[in-house]
Amino acid sequence: MAVWQFDFNVVPKEKSLIAEKICSEDILSWKQENIPSVEINFLEKQTSWTKDIIQYGKEDETCIQILYEDENLEEISCRLDLRSLSKKMLKEILDYVEKIGGMIFYEEKVYSPKLDEIIDLMKSSNANKFCQNPINYFEELSNG
């Protein structure tokens, strides 16, 4: 993950309701979840570094990666490039999350795929701090 990317996982809504009772690894898994077939046509499909990942968008930009294990959907991750992310692209990604029955899992907490809520998370993220002032970001790291 690049420092300018806001990185999160998409988790099944049903598991998110009991997130406090299960470990992070279990909440990420889509095994035995019925997920509707929703086309990702707002990001270009890319060749991934492994045959087990279907990737949309470039890895160091905005992208969605769908991990399969033994041909079963295992995990969905998303990276948002805060240097170039448009509101339109963010809405399309959040619409996709909603259509597949997903929630946002960021820093060990679950969030709904609502635009205002995710924008607030992005604003307070390290990726945003870097994009706003890269020199200050690294100075804070070195002083930390």
The pLDDT of 62-89, averaged and rounded, is: 96
* Closest to 22 (Cα-Cα) out of 79, 105, 97, 99: 105
Mean pLDDT of 113-135: 96
Compare 127 and 108 and report the one with higher pLDDT: 127
- The pLDDT score that the predictor gives to residue 35 is 86
Assess contact for 64 and 56: CB atoms under 8 A. Answer: yes
Overall residue count recorded for the chain in this entry: 144
Q: What pLDDT does residue 143 have?
A: 83
- 121-140 average pLDDT score: 94
Among 16-25, 45-54, 103-112, the minimum mean pLDDT is found in 16-25
| 24-59 pLDDT per residue, tens | 667 888 988 888 889 999 999 999 999 999 999 999
This prediction has a pTM of: 0.89
State residue 140's pLDDT score.
86
Q: What are phi and psi of 5, to 5 degrees?
A: -100, 135
What is the pLDDT, as a whole number, of residue 23?
A: 60
d(CA 43, CA 53): 15
- Looking at residue 142, what is its pLDDT? 84
Residue 18: predicted pLDDT:
64
pLDDT of 17 over the 80 cut? no
